[in-house]
Structure 1
């Protein structure tokens, strides 16, 4: 079996705005319709939560994982 690998850097802004790279990746992977909308929503929510977490931790010397992931 031969594996094929693609590199898709995906950008989602700090406030959850997805760049065109996200939609290109979905198209290349054949993700369409409701599945595309659901996946984008989860990625946007994750980016937004991560941005908030980084902002809250910016003054700490050590970033240890929080229990509520």
Structure 2
């Protein structure tokens, strides 16, 4: 099992990153779950002071129970 994450960088909100999609898959590529609730409520501050990708992986891992090593940020 793994999770793919796509990020969005809204032009009108400089320094903010939002989740565009978060979907978990079986190893054969079959979709397990689409985490739409994560997308609707989760802006991240990309101020440069933090590792935004690590912060996002930690957040998604805490919600999904999937190891951070199995979370792929695709963009």
Which has the bigger relative contact order, CA under 8 A and spacing at least 6? Answer: 2
Q: Rg: which structure is higher?
A: 1
Q: Select the structure that is richer in helix.
A: 1
Q: Select the structure that is richer in strand.
A: 2
Same fold? TM cut 0.5: no
What is the TM-score with the length of structure 1 in the denominator? 0.30
